[in-house]
Each structure stands twice: as C-alpha cells, then as structure tokens.
Homo-oligomer: A and B are copies of this chain.
Amino acid sequence: MKFQVHSDLEYQVLQPSTFILNIHALRTATQTVLEESLMVEPYIRLEEFSSALNANRFIRLEVTEPLIFKISYKATVDTISQIIDQKQEKGATPVVQLDGDIIPNLFPSRYCQSDKLQRLANNKFGKIENTFAQVIAITDWIYENVEYLSGSTNSQTSAYDTVSERAGVCRDFAHLGIALCRALSIPARYFTAYAYNLNPPDFHACFEAYIGGHWLIFDATKLAPLNGLVKIANGRDAADAAVASIFGNVVCQSMQVTSEVLENNFEPFYYDNKQLKGLSYE
C-alpha cells in the first residue's frame, strides 16, 4: 500500500545545540521508500547515520548560533504487511529457542520496567493460553484502564508511572504494553510511525510483540488502523527511537505531521479478539 507522509518541524534554538532526529521512513525488505526529500531552512549541514542497534535512519545537525529553523520531510512509501493466523500460538516462544538478536527485547529498559510488573502481568494475563490473545488482552486492558490525555505526561514518564496513574499518550500506552509483554517473557519493542487516519495527526508510537517467529504490531490506543503505518523506527523504548533527542536549549515551535493513502482500496484493519489474525510488517 502506498502512502505519502510529511512532517514539518520548527525549532527555535536559544543556544548552540545538537539535534538527533529520527523522522525518516525506514527502509526494509517490506517497506520501500519510493521518493523522499528533506529540506532545512535556513541551510544547516546535516548527516544521516544509523546505529548498531538497529537500522533506524537518524539525522544529526549542529546549530552553532541562536536561530529559528524549519525541517521538512516528505516521502512516498510502499509498505507490505501480512496477516498471519495466530490460532496455534500457544505459549510464548521458550526463551531457550529465541534468536540471540531477539533476546534484548525481553530485558527491562528505561521506560519499560518489566521487572517490576511481573506479578501484575502474570495475575491478569498469565492464564490466557494463546499468546496473541494474551497481547490483545494486554492492549484491551490498557485501552480500558488508561485515559488518553494529551499533556498528562512528559518525557520522563515510564510504564511504572502509567500503570498506577492511568493517563498518558501513545508513547505511554506503548511503553506499558511493552513492559507487560516482557514481564510475561514475550519479546516486545517500540515502533514509531507515520499513521494514516490518526486524529489528531502526530507522530505515532505503537509496539511489536514477537509471537511464533513474527514481529506483530499492536496499538493499545486503537487510534489508527493497524495496516496504515509507515515505520520510522524500532527500539527498546523511546530512549532508542525518540523523534527528537536534543542536546541544548531549544523550543519546538510547531510540529505538523500528515499521512495520506495513495491507493483506493485501503481497508482499515483492526484486531478482532475472535479471529486471532495478527498483522506483521516484516
């Protein structure tokens, strides 16, 4: 499915600052960037790089004097997602059978303190046999118990806060989903995206859980169709895949994000607790 995505960010730099931005559509076997452009106004030299952790396409730029600049990214992206039947997935893959690359997604991370939520996760979801149904139950529980409330959290808020305070935004919903999965020994990772039909439009954060050999996408906010995502990044949590990591004194003045589908036959896909069909972007 083809999407046109677009983000416009405007920053006021008060002191010399360095930016690490992660807004490019990822290039993967199932996601092709057909066309893209990045504009910075006024011109500032920037550099694209990836880290060893993952293929995320970071850019960094250094602003050496106070100024206001605008960065604008546009891309046409073709994504392939597949629906995978999950009826047979009884029990998480035994840790002993997981690939070495998958295992770090079992460990706790900055915003996903799975080590502190083991009892809660086991009591609430431990008895569900089918692993996909288990993660669906986690997202349903978050959706029902956590209020989506803009401005209720900040960049220090973690799953351990959200599980008690019960309010947050997409980032917090994703962190809590990840933490609860890991607490059940289900590998899980953070997933940022341009999301079609997200309202209000913004960068979106979801998560993937590793079930039956596939990374399946989950979104506890239920704010956008699961098959309308253009992946930006993966990471253990927002520490690895923040839209912007800024070293300096900077004010974000505006942020506009859009995603449009370029084909006629887009049919929104959401999970259905009875069908047990998962969606994978890999």
List residues of chain A with CB under 8 Å of any chain B CB.
18, 20, 47, 49-53, 58, 60-62, 94-96, 100-101, 103-104, 106-110, 112-113, 115-117, 119-120, 123, 145, 147, 155-156, 160, 163-167, 185, 239-240, 245, 247
Q: Which residues of B lie under 8 Å from residue A103 when comparing CB positions?
A: 20, 49, 51, 58
Bound form: Cα–Cα A52–B164 in Å: 32
B52–A100 contact, CB under 8 A?
yes
- Known contacts being A58-B100, A96-B61, A145-B123, is A239 close to B107, with CB within 8 Å? yes
The answer on a CB contact under 8 Å between A53 and B104 is: yes
Cα distance A123–B107 in the bound complex, in angstroms: 31
Decide: A104 and B240 in contact? CB cutoff 8 A: yes
- Rounded to whole angstroms, the CA-CA distance of A101 and B54 in the bound complex is 10
The answer on a CB contact under 8 Å between B166 and A109 is no
Shortest C-beta distance, A97 to chain B (Å), equals 9
A20 to B103, CA, bound (A): 10
Question: Is A164 within 8 A of B167, CB to CB?
Answer: no
Q: Least Cβ distance of A230 to chain B in Å?
A: 22
Say yes or no: A166-B119 contact (C-beta < 8 A), given A20-B95, A100-B49. yes
What CA separation (Å) do A53 and B102 show in the bound complex? 10
Q: A52-B100, A52-B101, A109-B109 are in contact. List 18 more A-B contacts (CB 8 A).
A: A18-B96, A49-B103, A53-B53, A60-B96, A107-B240, A107-B245, A110-B112, A110-B113, A110-B115, A115-B155, A117-B165, A119-B147, A120-B164, A120-B166, A123-B166, A160-B164, A163-B164, A164-B164
Contact in complex: A62, B96 (CB < 8 Å)? yes
Interface CB pairs A-B, < 8 A, 7: A49-B103, A51-B100, A107-B239, A110-B112, A115-B155, A116-B165, A119-B166
Which residue in B100, B145, B239 is a CB contact (below 8 Å) of A109?
Answer: B239
Q: Which residues of B contact A96 (CB under 8 A)?
A: 18, 47, 60-62
Contacts of A156 in B (CB 8 A): 113, 115-116
Q: How far is the CA of A49 from the CA of B98 in the complex (A)?
A: 10
Q: Which of B101, B110, B160 is within 8 Å of A107, CB to CB?
A: B110
CB distance from A242 to the nearest CB of B (A): 8
CA of A108 to CA of B112, assembled, Å: 12
